[in-house]
Structure formats: structure tokens, C-alpha cells
Amino acid sequence: SEPTVVTNAKRFIREHLDEKLTLEEISKAVNVSPFYFCKVFKQATGMTFTEYVNRQRVEKAKAELLKPSATVTEVAFNVGYQSLSQFNRSFLRYAGEAPTQYRKHMSEGAITDARVA
């Protein structure tokens, strides 16, 4: 069981993922100091606040990229990134491939799956 501070922080992050999130804002939302929040969050999740936010944004972006009508730029801004280059770096880091490669890979997989079925 994780500390209430971490559970509340995760909920706040989910609800505000598409916005600019700061350490000060999160720690204030869960009523602890930034220092204490960083310490407890890292112990509970094994990730820093920034790593966690970026991973959550990339996971949300993966789902958004499956929509053919959404451009990569739209997806990047919709999941809370302030710049396309920052999005591309994070996506590559956490997904292991660029957003356009991921989309192509997933659409090819869907075509293959449809042929098999």
C-alpha cells in the first residue's frame, strides 16, 4: 500500500496530465513540502515526479496515436507537452521508438491482425 500523499498525487497528475505540472503545484495540492513530496514519491514509485509524469503522458499519447486523424503535433500538445521536440525525446525514451514509427508499427499490426482473423 502506498502513502496517501502518493495516491493523491497520482490522481492529481491524471486529472491534470494535459496541463503544465510543476513540483510546487503538486506538493501544494497534496499538502506537503516539495522536498518531502520528492522523497516519498521516489520511494513509493521508484521514479522521480518528472519521470512519472512523462511516462503517463507517453502512455496517453500511445492511445491518441492510434487515431489516424490526430497529427503527432496535436497528440503532443493534447497530452501536455510544451514542445514537439520534448515530446519526441520523451516518447523515444519511454516507448523505444519515435511517435511516427510507433503509429506505423501499430497500424501495420492491426492490418496483420485483421488478415489473421
Residues in the chain: 117
Pull the grid cell for residue 5. Answer: 500523499
Under DSSP, the state recorded for 16 is T
Check residue 109 and give its pLDDT: 74
Does pLDDT of 116 surpass 80? Answer: no
Average pLDDT over residues 69-86: 95
**pTM score, whole prediction:** 0.88
pLDDT more than 70, % of the chain = 93
| Nearest one of 19, 22, 18, 13 to 79, comparing CA atoms | 18
Asked if residues 76 and 84 have their Cβ atoms less than 8 Å apart, the reply is yes
Check residue 113 and give its pLDDT: 55
Check residue 57 and give its pLDDT: 98
